Amino acid sequence: MSEQKGLILAIESSCDETAAAVVEGGHRILSNIVASQIAIHAPYGGVVPELASREHLRNIVPVVRAALDKAGVGLPDLDAIAVTEGPGLAGALLVGVAYAKSLAFALNKPLLAVNHLEGHIHAVLMAHREMGNGRSLALVVSGGHTHLYVVEHGGYRNVGATLDDAAGEAFDKVAKLLGLGYPGGPWIDALATHGDPTSVAFTLTQVKQKAHRPGTRVDRFAFSFSGIKTAVLRFVQIHDLYPSIELRREALAVIPSPGPADALPLCDARTLGLIASFQRAVVEDLKRKSFQAAEALGAESILVSGGVAANRELRARFAEEAGRKGLPIAFPTMALSTDNAAMIAAAAWQQFQAGGFAALDLTADASLALGTK
């Protein structure tokens, strides 16, 4: 290995972003390139796995090249190659893993295998290194995950997860149902500010041990977001919002790259109230369980990360509650909230220092778990 500046090239391809970053010493971001596939998947209202793999194949070489160019480093300057091993879409992950392995082999550099969820947690820790000391409660909330972890001494204990949809998935599905764009989170975030969040009373499913399938373990702080999606659907049916949804869908379809500002004049007060109430209910549920878990498990701080951590109401409500409880709280920067490779390099740093390198027979693990139960 070269004299240690600790230059890591990280590659992330677990879902619908092809990303590469060069990070020095685990926190100094020299480049962070993300090629989004949003436009490819938008017509389908969700990620199509086969299309995602194909796009990763198309993007991986130029994205890695752009990351190196932007950082002003050449391949020989690197100290290690890090890659997301899982969890995520199998075919998508394989593109990054195969490419990273080939690079590591060809350059004779060490390979580091990173858990995507640990990456999300490091997206916060990169900018708030002081939070890495002591015991923290981390909420990872994205399109594919809603997990609670106790983070301590660089290790993770999973203390809660969703039993069905991830919170971001609920945002995406509700947005799709209401004729809004993909991914739905940013649309709902923007439109919710124009609606009355108390106009529709939603209750989130309270998961009870005995209500769950016998023989399976239920986390103490389990989430469930499929019920609220159905409740939104029921509201749409009862108030016959379909004609206005159809009009909105058609109007947005003819606008090149439409955004929430285009949708606003196409939403009546009832729809905006529905959107705001949905968001409020999801955010309140995430907040309540996160703070309950933090208190019950003796956490000294709260870390919130993942795509949904970009939500403005979530940030405001969590910050308010943390202030009330006197608990330090941290979020990633907006750019590091959604999927990126800088967070993968940050998570790889500890492994790099400890010499925890992956073998060249590394393969993708679509359901890779993080930490102990």
- Segment 95-114, which members bind Zn ion (CB under 5 A)? none
H-type helices in 133-241, by residue range? 167-177, 184-192, 226-238
Least distance to Zn ion from the beta carbon of 15, Å? 6
State the binding partner of 338 from Zn ion, ligand KG4, none, CB within 5 to 8 A by kind: ligand KG4
Least distance to Zn ion from the beta carbon of 107, Å? 27
User: For residues 36 and 212, which CB has a smaller minimum distance to ligand KG4 in the complex?
Assistant: 36
Q: Please state whether beta strands 146-152 and 136-141 pair in parallel, antiparallel, or not at all (unpaired).
A: antiparallel
User: For residues 52 and 78, which CB has a smaller minimum distance to ligand KG4 in the complex?
Assistant: 52
Least distance to ligand KG4 from the beta carbon of 334, Å? 9
Single residue of 126, 321, 339, 349 touching Zn ion by CB under 5 A: 339
User: For residues 185 and 273, which CB has a smaller minimum distance to ligand KG4 in the complex?
Assistant: 185
Amino acid 280 reads R
Torsion on CA atoms 145, 305, 272, 39, rounded to nearest 10: -70
Single residue of 18, 142, 224, 290 touching Zn ion by CB under 5 A: 142
Whether 120 and 319 have beta carbons less than 8 Å apart is answered as no
The b/e string for 167-205 (b: 16+ C-beta within 10 A; e otherwise) is bbbbbbbbbbbbbbbbbbbbbbbbbbeebebeebebebb
State the binding partner of 185 from ligand KG4, Zn ion, none, CB within 5 to 8 A by kind: ligand KG4
Distance CA(256)–CA(253), nearest Å, equals 8
User: For residues 6 and 332, which CB has a smaller minimum distance to ligand KG4 in the complex?
Assistant: 332
The reply on whether position 340 binds Zn ion by CB under 5 A is no
Least distance to Zn ion from the beta carbon of 120, Å? 6
Q: Count the neighbouring beta carbons within 10 Å of the beta carbon of residue 273.
A: 20
- In the numeric block, which tokens belong to residue 102? 């080939």
Least distance to Zn ion from the beta carbon of 306, Å? 6
The separation between the first and the last C-alpha atoms of the chain, rounded to the nearest angstrom, is 36
Q: In 3-state terms, what secondary structure has residue 95?
A: helix
Question: Quick one: which segment of 39-47, 209-217, 251-259, 333-341 binds Zn ion (CB under 5 A)?
Answer: 333-341
Q: Which residues bind ligand KG4 (CB under 6 A)?
A: 15, 142-144, 168, 171-172, 183-186, 189, 306-308, 310-311, 338-339
Listed residue (48, 2, 54) closest to 24, CA to CA? 2
Least distance to Zn ion from the beta carbon of 34, Å? 12
The binding site for Zn ion (CB under 5 A) comprises: 142, 339
